[in-house]
Structure 1
Amino acid sequence: MYEGKTIGAVIPAYNEEKFIGEVIETLPEFVDRAYVIDDGSSDDTWNAICRAAERVNEGWEAPAPRADGGDGYDRRVVPIQHEVNRGVGGAIKTGYQHALTDHVDVTTVISGDGQTEPDIVERIIRPVALDDADYSKGNRLRGRARQDMPMFRQVGNFVLSLLTKIASGYWKLMDPQNGSTAISYAALDEVDLDELYEDYGFANDLLVRLNVHGMVVADVSRRAVYKDEVSHIKYKEFIPKASALLLRDFLWRLRAKYLVKDFHPLPFFYYFGAAAAALGAGSAAKKLFKHEDSVPSVLLFFVGWLFMLFAMVFDLNENDDLQVIVHDPHEFD
């Protein structure tokens, strides 16, 4: 337990036979229950999970029944196997569903490749355990933490951060692909898990849905940890899929949050701005090609962008109280 809250850990693993055993055997002491999901691995990951789980469970003493009358847990590590690979989002969803069934107070996600060290886990769960946030996520891009991240990852992450800010409404958050997260039972129960995206855009999709439900999200600075793990992301496929996902989520958020749950004119600023900018750009290009006066078209293009900027400012103000920044500038000294 941590700060009086039961802590669950979801550990997705795909072809991680080299790392997963150590991850399981070095779980932080405050983790009461770990759901380790073999996501259809083609190597010996499943057997490595089972062996490590057996060792940990044998040496584990089950805690007394909870003070609130809830049941204790019969084992600390729960191995779960997907027959086919569903993607990291699918693996996390499976873990989340088990955590909901077990009524875990705070559920964190720990990487199966050893990138989430125990002190990082504590830093991530703390805002949720203290009820300062409904969801928290790591951020390797704030301050000196990003120095350990390869440059190509920094560039890609900054681009995805910008797109996710616009799509999700959490304008102060960065590093949306960071897998170090924690979520409260209440937030987990509120989100429709079955509807969540199951591939590497899972974290982005979840942020959008949390925003629509008015959940407070903490952005927690953490150091980057890289060993000799192999990334399973295929960037040529991921970037187009992630862009399409974020566009779909953005349009859904505008409708669900500002037109269905409540009313705000913000979406119409976006709609008019996008239409005017697109019409102005198309008209300007056509007139330039014909050597005609393009000034009115250019003005329409800039008016469109002005409306979209107004919409962004409105959106930022509407969501300002849903963001918590946890950053110690001296943390990585």
Structure 2
Amino acid sequence: MYKQHTVGVVVPAYNEEGLVGDVLETMPAIVDRVYVFDDCSSDGTWAEIQRASARLNASRSSHVGDGREEFVITERHEENRGRGRCVKDGYRRALADGLDVVAVVDGDGQMDPDELHRILDPVVDGRADYAKGTRLKNRGDTNGMSRWRLFGNVVLSFLTNLSSGYWGLVDSQNGYTAISQQVLRELPIEKLYDRYGFLNDILTELNVHGFTIAEVPHPAVYGDEESNIRYTTFVPFVSLLLLWNFLYRIQKRYLVRNFHPVVLCYTVGITGLMLGAVGGITGLLTQTPAVSPVTVPAVGGFGILLFLLAIVLDIQQNSRLTYQSEPHPEPNRQRQ
């Protein structure tokens, strides 16, 4: 228990042999129950989970008042269903057990369990409905992250901010999160994306419901783990997901509830950008532009201005929904 709140932790794992056991063994004392899911791993992940959970269940008991004493609850998917599905299954279990706040700690060892209390703080203190870590706020926290990975995170975070409306987020792809029981009960969890796009999808739903997010800086731990993301499928699917979420959010926030000029600015701006791009490409390919050479850049420029205006208005409307938590303590400082 942490600050009079019961705490559950969901641990999704796929091919994390040699890593997931340490993640489970280092769960801090504030955790009341752990839900670990092996997503049909092809290595020794499940056996490692079973060994670690047996040791922990023999030495630690759960403080959840549901009649069960197991500290670690394990489950193995019969087929690979995705990280998002593991998290959703964990959320469902935690809700059934009545836990006050639920965190997610990946089984790859990149999320330091000693930082968990800092991820929980904004939620248990009532300052946010959802908290998530960021590795990109402090320069030192990105040590060990490859340049390609850092670039990909920055680009995808910008696109996710545009899609979700949480413009204050720095590291949208960070899966170190905490969410309150009340928020989980309001979100359509089962409708969220099952695979790695889950993190992008849940942000849109949180925004549509008007929930506040806190982003908590923390260092990441990089070792010998390898990413399980298949970029040939991840990029196209997540691109379509972000586009769909953008349209869904704009409709829900700025049309269904109350009409807002941001809809008009986005619509006309994007239309102008597309017409300008098509006109420019057509003119280059055919050497015989269908319209005046002055019209194409004028339309494109007008589209850019309206699109930027839409972003400014969108940022203003969502500015209260995000805030940055305090930087993490220096390594030589003791935790309070």
**If the length of structure 1 is used for normalisation, what is the TM-score?**
0.93
Helix, strand or coil at the partner of 1:316: helix
Helix, strand or coil at the partner of 2:143: helix
Match in the other structure for 2:275: 279
1:12 equivalent to 2:9? Answer: no
Change (3 A) 1:42 1:285: closer
Match in the other structure for 1:328: 327
Conserved 8 A contact 1:62-1:72: no
Misfit runs of 4+, over 3 Å: 61-65, 284-288, 329-333
Which amino acid counterpart does residue 19 of structure 1 have in structure 2?
L
Deviations 1:87-123, CA, capped at 9 Å, x for gaps: 1111111111111111211100011011111222222
Conserved 8 A contact 2:136-2:171: yes
Of residues 196, 200, 209 in structure 2, which corresponds to 1:200?
A: 196
Change (3 A) 1:104 1:261: farther
Conserved 8 A contact 2:33-2:63: no
1:209 equivalent to 2:205? Answer: yes
Q: Give 1:22-101 correspondences, 5 Å limit.
A: 22-63=22-63, 65=65, 71=66, 73-101=68-96
Conserved 8 A contact 1:173-1:219: yes
Question: Shift of the alpha carbon at 1:151?
Answer: 0.8
Match in the other structure for 1:68: none
Gap regions ≥5 residues in structure 1: 66-70
Gap regions ≥5 residues in structure 2: none
Match in the other structure for 1:131: 126
Distance in 2 between the 1:18 and 1:92 partners?
Answer: 21
Distance in 2 between the 1:177 and 1:284 partners?
Answer: 35
Of residues 196, 202, 215 in structure 2, which corresponds to 1:219?
A: 215
Distance in 2 between the 1:74 and 1:103 partners?
Answer: 15
Deviations 1:232-254, CA, capped at 9 Å, x for gaps: 01223212221111111111111
Distance in 1 between the 2:72 and 2:188 partners?
Answer: 25
Deviations 1:272-323, CA, capped at 9 Å, x for gaps: 1111221122223434521673112211111111111111111101111100
Which amino acid counterpart does residue 262 of structure 2 have in structure 1?
L
Of residues 184, 190, 193 in structure 1, which corresponds to 2:186?
A: 190
Distance in 1 between the 2:329 and 2:57 partners?
Answer: 38
Helix, strand or coil at the partner of 1:319: helix
Q: Percent identity?
A: 45
Conserved 8 A contact 1:90-1:198: yes
Conserved 8 A contact 1:11-1:111: yes
Question: Shift of the alpha carbon at 1:184?
Answer: 0.8
Distance in 1 between the 2:273 and 2:210 partners?
Answer: 30
Which amino acid counterpart does residue 117 of structure 2 have in structure 1?
E
Change (3 A) 1:279 1:24: same
Which amino acid counterpart does residue 70 of structure 2 have in structure 1?
R
1:311 equivalent to 2:310? Answer: yes
Change (3 A) 1:253 1:244: same
Q: Give 1:153-302 correspondences, 5 Å limit.
A: 153-287=149-283, 289-290=287-288, 293-302=292-301
Question: Shift of the alpha carbon at 1:186?
Answer: 1.2
Conserved 8 A contact 2:119-2:178: yes
Change (3 A) 1:331 1:323: farther
Residue correspondences, number? 328
Which amino acid counterpart does residue 166 of structure 1 have in structure 2?
L
Which amino acid counterpart does residue 293 of structure 1 have in structure 2?
S
Question: Shift of the alpha carbon at 1:47?
Answer: 2.1
CA RMSD of aligned residues (A): 1.8
Change (3 A) 1:286 1:45: closer
Question: Shift of the alpha carbon at 1:332?
Answer: 6.3
Which amino acid counterpart does residue 324 of structure 2 have in structure 1?
I
**If the length of structure 2 is used for normalisation, what is the TM-score?**
0.93
Conserved 8 A contact 1:53-1:77: yes
Of residues 151, 157, 182 in structure 1, which corresponds to 2:147?
A: 151
Conserved 8 A contact 1:143-1:329: no
Distance in 2 between the 1:321 and 1:302 partners?
Answer: 30
Which amino acid counterpart does residue 306 of structure 1 have in structure 2?
L
Which amino acid counterpart does residue 195 of structure 1 have in structure 2?
K
Change (3 A) 1:99 1:64: closer
Which amino acid counterpart does residue 32 of structure 1 have in structure 2?
D
Question: Shift of the alpha carbon at 1:329?
Answer: 7.7
